[in-house]
A and B are shown apart, each in its own frame.
Chain A
């Protein structure tokens, strides 16, 4: 399976702290995406980083990509209770095949 792996599986932080989640994958990619899932709901696309990019920002989100290590990190700054959710990375290997999702990181932000 080409499924990626997120690390840690679960993360609990205080409101206002930063949250960092990592994703590793196995083969070369076109791009890597992060999705968020609130409890019992579908996933929502957050941010995408292409293989030729190293860092990308969107609001309080910062994504980095290291293609030599086949890994990515998602940083959420100044976290809020509303950020409590599961976060998944998804890799696009060829541009036409389905995205491959990791197992997710469950983030709890305590007010």
Chain B
């Protein structure tokens, strides 16, 4: 089975701190994604990457950046954390199943910014 691992399940940071959320997948997938999930808003796409060193903005990229130096690792960076970035962050890797794109998600990283 594909495994997507998010290194931190819970983080508490202070306003203005730089935050790194790490995500690693073990199946050589090219496509990886970062979503944030908030009550009443569902999942919203922050950034995605179709290959190493490639990145594309999603629906809500403001305040975030990403890094994809190796195929298996896709990092989400909050350059200067703010309280409105308190959220659940979900990383996913995409594979083809019977000709269709399917996502495998990590367990999530719940970030609290004080």
Interface size of A in residues (CB-CB distance below 8 Å): 26
Q: A103 and B105 in contact (CB under 8 A), knowing A42-B4, A48-B100, A98-B58?
A: no
Q: Within the complex, what minimum Cβ distance (angstroms) separates A91 from chain B?
A: 11
**CA A43 – CA B106 in complex, angstroms?**
8
Shortest beta-carbon distance from A85 to chain B in Å: 13
Are the C-beta atoms of A42 and B107 separated by less than 8 Å?
yes
List chain A positions with a Cβ less than 8 A from chain B: 1, 3, 30-31, 33, 35, 40-45, 48, 50, 88, 90, 92, 95-96, 98-104
Give me 13 A-to-B residue pairs in the complex whose CB atoms sit less than 8 angstroms apart, sorted by A's number: A3-B42, A33-B100, A33-B102, A42-B4, A42-B6, A45-B104, A48-B97, A50-B100, A88-B43, A95-B101, A98-B45, A99-B101, A104-B42
- A41-B107, A42-B105, A90-B103 known; 20 new pairs, CB 8 Å cut-off, are A31-B100, A33-B100, A41-B108, A42-B4, A42-B90, A42-B106, A42-B108, A43-B90, A43-B103, A43-B105, A48-B98, A48-B100, A88-B42, A88-B43, A92-B100, A92-B101, A98-B45, A98-B48, A101-B42, A103-B41
